Structure 1
Amino acid sequence: MEKTFDPQSIEQTCYQRWENSGHFAASGKGDPYCILLPPPNVTGSLHMGHAFQHTIMDALIRYKRMKGNNTLWQVGTDHAGIATQMVVERQLNAQGQTRHDLGRDDFVKKIWEWKAHSGGTITGQMRRLGTSPDWSREVFTMDDNLSEAVTEVFVKLHEEGLIYRGKRLVNWDPVLHTAVSDLEVVNEEESGHLWHMRYPLADGSGHLVVATTRPETMLGDTAVAVHPDDERYRSLIGKEIKLPLSDRLIPIIADDYVDLEFGTGCVKITPAHDFNDYEMGKRHSLPMINIFTADAKVNDDAPEAYRGMDRFDARKQIVADLDALGLIEKIDDHKLKVPRGDRTGAVIEPYLTDQWYVAVESLAKPAIEAVESGEIRFVPENWNKTYYQWMHNIQDWCISRQLWWGHRIPAWYDNNGNVYVGRTESEVREKQGLANDVVLHQDEDVLDTWFSSALWPFATMGWPKQTPELETFLPSSVLVTGFDIIFFWVARMIMMTKKFTGQIPFKDIYITGLIRDENGDKMSKSKGNVLDPIDLIDGIELETLVEKRTAGMMQPQMAEKIAKRTRKQFPEGINAYGTDALRFTFAAMASTSRDINFDMARVEGYRNFCNKIWNASRFVLMNTQDADTGAKGGELQLSVADKWILATLQKTRADIETALADYRFDIAAQHMYEFTWNQFCDWYLELTKPVLNNEDATDAQKRGTRHTLVNVLEQLMRLLHPFMPFITDTIWQQVAPLCGHALEADATIMGQPFVEEVPELIDEEIIADIDWLKKCIVGVRNIRGEMDISPNKPLNVLFKNASASDQRRTQDMQVFLTRLGKLESITQLADGEEAPPSATAIVGDMEVLIPMAGLIDKDAELARIDKALDKLSKDIQRVEGKLANEKFVANAPDAVIAKERAKSEDFQSQQRTLMAQRETIASL
């Protein structure tokens, strides 16, 4: 092994060997265990959320593979209708073309060409993360077999009356000219206005004042609503209003939805341009007047003066015209949530159009029951409340999108407007008895991407064909996903899978937290706090990172701000931490919290953990590679330390398996770290030296310790492998032969069993004995540190109040005590025997005493401590003075105040320790 751990030198070679060996495929043996990868967008690249979730999934897959399960991680990508179409449209725009210049067929060909050349970015990055899905089964939502499943589901739902076409209100993006889902709408608070407008009563007896944030939609008003209990307006219910700037009369209606406290208590109702108004319009059978075109300009159903105007230009003109007529009562500043398309930034328009819908009520009922019965389990359990809330208030699902890229809706129209649904045009003609001279044209729309994604659990397994994979891996074992798509994806998969297979899609749903930056802020390009997981793996120079974070920013001030923040946060760029350190960081942070603040210091710490593992492995190999490890037989005599590490390994194995069963990856990582760093590296390796370096030790004793060293290291690599695949496989290749494994050319640790349970190795008495030994050694080392005694100076130690058990342990572990504690002698004091002035450590009821006479220069040590106490006193006075300053406390950030308080506590703790030392030394 190389002297230092260099992840870049092993990772890609290692991964290529794994993939070429075919180890990622299902074995066909054992109980099935399956995970479906939430298909990332083919346009995308690996972000921190992906890397976090993929680490969790891969850890489970690798663990279950080692446990002997028939393990499948089904991988694939999503065609991402809007996102992909926009990418290719931008490329065309840069060449001075639009998709309309090419026509639909040629434009779709362009997208397939782009997908072939650039669409594999994210799967390449997944390989860099060490993920081990079955790449031979990789699918794409536009593949022929998945497209067949989409068509089949559409046709069958339509035949049952569960898919229908209707004119309803949708989220409309006026730039993309398509309906978009709620998930593609970003609602953020912006500064706006609240216009109070006078609406004259038709009988000339006065007017009502309505308050609105959208005066331009008044052209489509079809009523004014008041609350039925509002005494101010009760007598006006049923009367009519003359709509300003129009020659229409509209009624005054009563509805409980109206908020008496908001504005004037009178609400203008525009059913074709507001979702709440739409529902009220249906309740009261109001006309629905759409006043906008597809690109949000005023259409011909509005008064002629405003036709062709952009909606916001029309707003200004309408307000000016109302003001000229004396119909503006007042205008207030107002904060409001503005819906914008996440792709275009355009203000989303509630828009009345003909769309295709799925009637979901009958589909939702069995999906709710599947969770209520416990057939499907949310982890953490509290997410089922969110699921129920959405499912009990579910609305019909708009599944059509006005795009060219996607699964085209299998519906055809004749020239009379009749619509026919079928798998193909020929099937439609045959079923409907339509002659060849009847002209049919296919629906121009495509299906919502979430429609095909809803079929993921069974379409990826070959449905509608009845395949062995479908029989074996449905339902899958666990879905790992985020809380934000519980309704958009998770619920719809449950509905569709239950409907078309009669089974649940998955047994467990593990909801991960959201990865935020170190301050708890959401990572976004506009904030300049996005981290690229590949940059953490490979490292990146500062200026390259600055350029990357500011690329494409139109506002120089924003780019400058982000550049400044980046230089401050990463003055030397980002170090190369390697994949294993990043993966272990994700695992260690995978608590049941919704939000996870990503701390770069944790990655640094786990890179050090990798170094610790590497160096410990080098120590083991240097002491065993050219020696007898018992792999070929021979007597093995295990020391108490050997037996202890085997027992501790077994207990750690059990703790890790329990944590993984509960999806507590953070706890599993904690157990791995504690055993590896504190027990194996810090203690056991030290405890082997008194045997390996002891000329009086027998061959059987040395062989026993070497045997334990290599076998515990080999098992430790198997314990760590699910989270840290690269370093563990690399080390395992070196240590496995020393354990007697004959490695074939394609041998890999992932093909080995997980550490097996051997209960008889757990000896609680030996664990207690070594715990006693460690406390004695730590006590001696602490005294050395406190009294500034050289680590190499031999000490005489007295044991006072030693029980029979303490005396037995002293005898059994004499060699470990003297070697690790650097002790010259150990003396048991008789009952009542007085000890000389000593420094003391407590181990249970026993006192560990180190006589101080002759060990230190008493006067010099007291002078040193007095000098340190004087400095600490000044430090405490300075910090306490700051904290007592009311002006400082009032103006300083909370983090600064907390830091000063922590300093004060630390200084005072040091002061107490030094004063105790001074008292001890002064008594000598």
Structure 2
Amino acid sequence: MPELPDQYKPAEVEKKIYSFWEEKRLFHAEVDSSREPFVIVIPPPNVTGSLHMGHALNNVLQDIIIRYKRMKGLNACWIPGTDHAGIATQNVVEKELMAEGLTRQQLGREKFLERVWAWKEKYGNRIIDQLKALGASADWERQRFTMDEGCSRAVRTFFVKLYQDGLIYRGDYMINWCPRCHTALSDIEVEHHPRPEAALWRVRYPLKDQEGYIVVATTRPETMLGDTAVAVNPKDPRYRQLVGRMAILPLLNRELPIIEDEYVDPQFGTGALKITPAHDPHDFEVAVRHGLPLVNIFTESAVTNENAGPYQGLERSEARRRVVADLERLGLVEGQEKYSHSVGQCYRCDTMVEPRISRQWFLRMKPLAGPAVEAVREGRIEFIPSPWAKVYFDWMQNIRDWCISRQIWWGHRIPAWYCRRCGQEIVTVDDPQVCPGCSSEELHQEDDVLDTWFSSALWPFSTLGWPDDTEDLRYFYPTDVLVTGHDIIFFWVARMIMAGLYGVGDVPFHQVFINPLVSDIQGQKMSKSRGNVIDPLDVIGKCGTDALRFTISFLTTPGRDVLLGEERIEGMRNFANKIWNASRFILMNVGDGKDLTFSVRDFDLALHDRWILSQLSQTARKVEEELARYNFSQASKALYDFFWGRFCDWYIEMSKRDLYRGEKKDSDKARSILLYVQDRFLRLLHPFMPFITEEIWQLLPHDGESIMVASYPSYEESLIDEEADRQMEALMEVVTEVRRLRSEHNINPAQKLRIVLVPANGELKEIWAQSSGYIMDLARVEEMRLEESVEHPGQYLKGVAAGAELYVEASGLIDLSSEKERLRRQMGRLDQEIKRSQEKLANQNYLSRAPEGVVARERTKLQEFQEVRDRLQRQIENRESLEEL
């Protein structure tokens, strides 16, 4: 049988293995009515993106699920693709043009779009290649793009259907406008950030035809140039005599009516509110109720226009500075105070959003939201963890109409045309040639494109051929589970549910697993400014893909952030090396394995044999139970603990006695069980660590061309042996206790020991007697006696194992005086650490400023220090008792 190299070198294995999988088309799924499908659609990454740790976590979890289901015999299909990312991609290409001294307007729409498509063809698959490096077993033959021909047709068809059903309309409304991206944004595309340094100005507005002022409070004095009224609350007695009169707008001398409206909060500021309907959504609603004019003072770039009078041509901050200076010069600023409030910013470029009245396309959401809410309430869609369902309900029940038009060029152009002759609006899937009203050929298509999220809402079915009634759609839809982050429950998840129910008549998926966020080891969000970003591609280069994947799965518990540090990934690299080295040992000892067939009936199984088979079956059961709950952490931990803590540390070590000192039947038994356990463990582990498991499995005797299509080991009840589990624990406790005594008393590891066991009952005596050779090998013991009692216990180091007494002969092994001095020095150093930690935890300033995770780790550290100190104290007392002999 071929041998594994001395060292595992992931870089040499991973490309070779991935190419093998692709050449064999092992990721591809076809319609097969004889098999049950299992489908996942990838949350399509932006074509502008590159792999970050959030992508890595999300896609590793999806790959674990899809590989597991594939091995379970389901027709597993993971549909990949990318999103055209309208605003982000257009920004990238416009920056390239700027470097050339060009603008998109200079190029024109057609030439600009040619540049974007060229950029997409050159760079758009970068993240796909990176996902492949991550081991993603997606069906790349089904790869889609949100602007490919099929998706584009689906978008047009869906839009027309909504329009014809009266759910899409066009009108002038207050929208969120990004002055940098020059486009409308939906409410959830606006991120609100606190501005604790903001100010609240109190400005005097003179009254017309009488002495005095009405004082208004505002956080944006520059927008007063667009005021068309002053409003007070009808229940506020302070201003009752002024209602119906006129105020004079300072600086521009515009007459403003003083009106009553219940929207005004008498407790805010002065209780008098300037109404700027073209620049505030609430003021817009007040203006609609009172028939007030709308005065827009900003251009699309948030520069003041001709309506700003002498302040025309100023950027917002400069306009504010000039307006405030002139008001102060005229003595119209009554006061200014600090006022903390939130300011909306564009989610793409962080520019402060400007409320703006604009003619836009809107989608009525309430008729679509009702069925989507019921689908989750009725259990047709399950959120995991379940608390995220409440977040979904809260948003859906307060949903507002969605502004779906964007004033950019890259995206799905809205399928609406306007007749230049008669003005008719034509909405159709296919490009019209003539106006149906007047037969004119003078048609102009709507310039706006659809919000990127509009096309991605159709992703679960547009990727399967909708609107055609395709075989793929009938077989693979609905999909099974969506794995995504909580930050796009509103952007994407809810919209997919609404779209699926409306467009196809069924939910798009049955489960939504909200994957956790990735933070650094301190619990802080990863960011370049903090310098705590971990690049998954760098980590893969250092530690290998499998180490990164297993770290992610090991740390992923539903509902908890993943705290990731490079040292944890390095720890899992050690686990990969352990698997490799254990496999090398097995392969070197089993030969070609052709003479080995394992069956429980073939051999007289010893205690450790029955135990490892029982543990293997229990591990298989545990892994499947935890994967069903998407508790990747517990599934991974079960695999890790079994392989390292049971198979390697105990069974492999015990098997050496059978291999090298036993009879042929003992050697054959050990070789067979080693192969049996290794094969099944590799298959259990494969979804988590696909590369190393494939590389090793190919060298084992096996059926089939790849481990990824081998059957997943199931729980075998017949192998569960509770008696063997219990008895083996008793054996391991003896070995562990001897090792503990050796370590605590600083006895040379090479020193062979003499021990005495005083079993508490006949069963223990029999177990230890039958397994004495294994105990002696593992604990490095040259003599082991089973006695009823020990006559002179002072001559021994005493321990307890499995409820029985254990004695290690101490004569000549320990220099008591030097050992006590060494232990006291250790205690002295520990006392200093304990004092330092106690002082830190007593410092209120530290407790209030340090992150919660840091404080928790400090408390854990203190507890560990105290436990070690207590153990050292016991060791000193033990040595003092020996001196008394």
Structure-1 separation of matches of 2:238 and 2:570:
67
1:13-52 residue pairs with structure 2 within 5 A?
13-26=16-29, 28=32, 30-52=35-57
> Secondary structure of the residue that 1:504 maps to in structure 2?
coil
Does 830-839 or 65-74 show the bigger shift? Answer: 830-839
Does 30-39 or 697-706 show the bigger shift? Answer: 697-706
For the structure 1 residues 171 and 645, does the alpha-carbon distance in structure 2 shift closer, same or farther, using more than 3 Å as the test?
A: same
Q: Aligned pair 1:603/2:572, yes or no?
A: no
Q: Aligned pair 1:805/2:772, yes or no?
A: no
For the structure 1 residues 252 and 24, does the alpha-carbon distance in structure 2 shift closer, same or farther, using more than 3 Å as the test?
A: same
> Per-residue CA shift, 1:504-562, capped at 9, x if unaligned?
01111111122122333322333333222101111xxxxxxxxxxxxxxxxxxxxxxxx
Contact persistence 2:798–2:806 (CA under 8 A): yes
Does 229-238 or 676-685 show the bigger shift? Answer: 229-238
The residue aligned with 1:715 is: 680
The residue aligned with 2:544 is: 578
Aligned mate of 1:837, from 773, 789, 795:
795
For the structure 1 residues 831 and 920, does the alpha-carbon distance in structure 2 shift closer, same or farther, using more than 3 Å as the test?
A: closer
Structure-2 separation of matches of 1:459 and 1:833:
83
Structure-2 separation of matches of 1:890 and 1:878:
20
Contact persistence 1:635–1:703 (CA under 8 A): no
Does 363-372 or 27-36 show the bigger shift? Answer: 27-36
Contact persistence 2:598–2:676 (CA under 8 A): no
Percent of matched pairs sharing the same residue: 43
Does 605-614 or 92-101 show the bigger shift? Answer: 92-101
Does 122-131 or 312-321 show the bigger shift? Answer: 312-321
Contact persistence 1:35–1:73 (CA under 8 A): yes
Contact persistence 1:420–1:428 (CA under 8 A): no
Deviation of residue 871 (structure 1)?
Answer: 5.1
Aligned mate of 2:524, from 521, 524, 537:
521
> Per-residue CA shift, 1:100-119, capped at 9, x if unaligned?
22211111111111111111
> Secondary structure of the residue that 2:43 maps to in structure 1?
coil
1:269-288 residue pairs with structure 2 within 5 A?
269-288=275-294
Contact persistence 2:51–2:131 (CA under 8 A): yes
Aligned mate of 2:201, from 190, 195, 201:
195
2:165 counterpart letter in structure 1? E
Structure-1 separation of matches of 2:694 and 2:271:
70
Deviation of residue 235 (structure 1)?
Answer: 4.4
Aligned mate of 1:434, from 438, 459, 470:
438
Q: Aligned pair 1:868/2:873, yes or no?
A: no
For the structure 1 residues 411 and 639, does the alpha-carbon distance in structure 2 shift closer, same or farther, using more than 3 Å as the test?
A: same
Does 486-495 or 250-259 show the bigger shift? Answer: 250-259
> Secondary structure of the residue that 2:408 maps to in structure 1?
coil
Q: Aligned pair 1:625/2:591, yes or no?
A: yes
The residue aligned with 1:332 is: 337
Structure-1 separation of matches of 2:727 and 2:563:
40
For the structure 1 residues 284 and 595, does the alpha-carbon distance in structure 2 shift closer, same or farther, using more than 3 Å as the test?
A: farther
> Secondary structure of the residue that 1:412 maps to in structure 2?
strand
For the structure 1 residues 475 and 427, does the alpha-carbon distance in structure 2 shift closer, same or farther, using more than 3 Å as the test?
A: farther
Contact persistence 2:685–2:693 (CA under 8 A): yes
For the structure 1 residues 266 and 47, does the alpha-carbon distance in structure 2 shift closer, same or farther, using more than 3 Å as the test?
A: same
1:682 counterpart letter in structure 2? D
Q: TM-score, normalised by structure 2?
A: 0.93
Contact persistence 1:271–1:279 (CA under 8 A): yes
> Secondary structure of the residue that 1:10 maps to in structure 2?
helix
Structure-1 separation of matches of 2:682 and 2:861:
43
Deviation of residue 678 (structure 1)?
Answer: 0.2
The residue aligned with 2:417 is: 412
Deviation of residue 885 (structure 1)?
Answer: 9.5
> Per-residue CA shift, 1:710-735, capped at 9, x if unaligned?
11111111111111111111111112
For the structure 1 residues 34 and 846, does the alpha-carbon distance in structure 2 shift closer, same or farther, using more than 3 Å as the test?
A: same
Q: Aligned pair 1:665/2:632, yes or no?
A: yes
For the structure 1 residues 427 and 485, does the alpha-carbon distance in structure 2 shift closer, same or farther, using more than 3 Å as the test?
A: farther
Structure-1 separation of matches of 2:39 and 2:194:
42
Deviation of residue 317 (structure 1)?
Answer: 2.8
Please provide the CA RMSD for this pair. Answer: 2.5
Deviation of residue 87 (structure 1)?
Answer: 1.4
Structure-2 separation of matches of 1:121 and 1:882:
48
> Per-residue CA shift, 1:801-843, capped at 9, x if unaligned?
4302112212332322232233334333237977563222222
For the structure 1 residues 599 and 85, does the alpha-carbon distance in structure 2 shift closer, same or farther, using more than 3 Å as the test?
A: same
Structure-2 separation of matches of 1:410 and 1:381:
39
Contact persistence 2:232–2:239 (CA under 8 A): yes
1:287 counterpart letter in structure 2? P
Contact persistence 2:841–2:859 (CA under 8 A): no
1:834-913 residue pairs with structure 2 within 5 A?
837-852=795-810, 854-857=811-814, 860-870=815-825, 872-873=827-828, 876=831, 880=835, 901=862, 905=866, 908-913=869-874
Aligned mate of 1:686, from 631, 650, 653:
653
Deviation of residue 199 (structure 1)?
Answer: 1.8
Q: Aligned pair 1:763/2:721, yes or no?
A: yes
Deviation of residue 886 (structure 1)?
Answer: 11
Structure-1 separation of matches of 2:833 and 2:515:
45
The residue aligned with 1:547 is: none
2:817 counterpart letter in structure 1? L
The residue aligned with 2:236 is: 230
Does 179-188 or 356-365 show the bigger shift? Answer: 179-188
Structure-2 separation of matches of 1:742 and 1:320:
83
For the structure 1 residues 804 and 91, does the alpha-carbon distance in structure 2 shift closer, same or farther, using more than 3 Å as the test?
A: same
Contact persistence 2:373–2:393 (CA under 8 A): yes
Contact persistence 1:169–1:352 (CA under 8 A): yes
Q: Aligned pair 1:477/2:480, yes or no?
A: yes
For the structure 1 residues 662 and 168, does the alpha-carbon distance in structure 2 shift closer, same or farther, using more than 3 Å as the test?
A: same
The residue aligned with 1:587 is: 553
Q: Aligned pair 1:289/2:295, yes or no?
A: yes
> Secondary structure of the residue that 2:699 maps to in structure 1?
helix
Structure-2 separation of matches of 1:886 and 1:56:
38
Number of aligned positions between the proteins: 871
For the structure 1 residues 393 and 878, does the alpha-carbon distance in structure 2 shift closer, same or farther, using more than 3 Å as the test?
A: closer
Structure-2 separation of matches of 1:305 and 1:682:
83
Q: TM-score, normalised by structure 1?
A: 0.90
1:38-437 residue pairs with structure 2 within 5 A?
38-190=43-195, 191-300=197-306, 302-415=307-420, 416-426=422-432, 429=435, 432-435=436-439, 437=440
Structure-2 separation of matches of 1:269 and 1:255:
11
For the structure 1 residues 279 and 663, does the alpha-carbon distance in structure 2 shift closer, same or farther, using more than 3 Å as the test?
A: farther
Deviation of residue 645 (structure 1)?
Answer: 0.8
> Secondary structure of the residue that 2:251 maps to in structure 1?
coil
The residue aligned with 1:636 is: 603
> Per-residue CA shift, 1:199-234, capped at 9, x if unaligned?
223352532211111112112223323334434334
> Secondary structure of the residue that 1:798 maps to in structure 2?
strand
The residue aligned with 1:725 is: 690
> Per-residue CA shift, 1:472-506, capped at 9, x if unaligned?
22111111111111011111101111001110011
Deviation of residue 767 (structure 1)?
Answer: 1.0
For the structure 1 residues 310 and 469, does the alpha-carbon distance in structure 2 shift closer, same or farther, using more than 3 Å as the test?
A: same
> Secondary structure of the residue that 1:209 maps to in structure 2?
strand
Deviation of residue 899 (structure 1)?
Answer: 9.0
Which runs of 5 or more residues in structure 1 are unaligned? 539-575
For the structure 1 residues 524 and 791, does the alpha-carbon distance in structure 2 shift closer, same or farther, using more than 3 Å as the test?
A: closer
Does 127-136 or 601-610 show the bigger shift? Answer: 601-610
> Per-residue CA shift, 1:681-713, capped at 9, x if unaligned?
11111110121121xx33222111101101111
